[in-house]
Amino acid sequence: MRNKDVEKLIKKTMIGAIDRIEQRFGRFWGFGFPEENRTEKQKLVYEIFMELREDILDIGNDQIRKISNERRKICC
């Protein structure tokens, strides 16, 4: 499997995970509603979600880099 194919699969996994979190828990931060209509509690929950989202993306991107580096070692 090529690096680009592996990268696409990992990215789909990351985005899919984030999407499922939004779908199942988004009501707790007013997902789909204007930010100015959110309560203070919803704003706090949204901040927590954004931190989690960033963590998921960072971990996935780190895995992509590791796979790319390992493949470079093997092939060259």
User: φ and ψ at 65, to 5 degrees?
Assistant: -60, -45
For 39-59, the pLDDT digits (tens) are 999 999 999 999 999 999 999
For 62-72, the pLDDT digits (tens) are 999 998 888 77
Taking the C-alpha atoms of residue 38 and residue 7, their distance in angstroms, rounded to an integer, is 36
pLDDT at 1: 78
DSSP-derived secondary structure letter, 31: T
**What is the pTM (predicted TM-score) of this model?**
0.84
For 3-45, the pLDDT digits (tens) are 889 999 999 999 999 999 999 999 999 999 999 999 999 999 9
* Cβ 52 vs Cβ 21: under 8 Å: yes
**What would the two tokens of residue 42 be?**
């919803």
Which residue, among 50, 41, 44, 43, has the nearest Cα to 22 in the 3D structure? 50
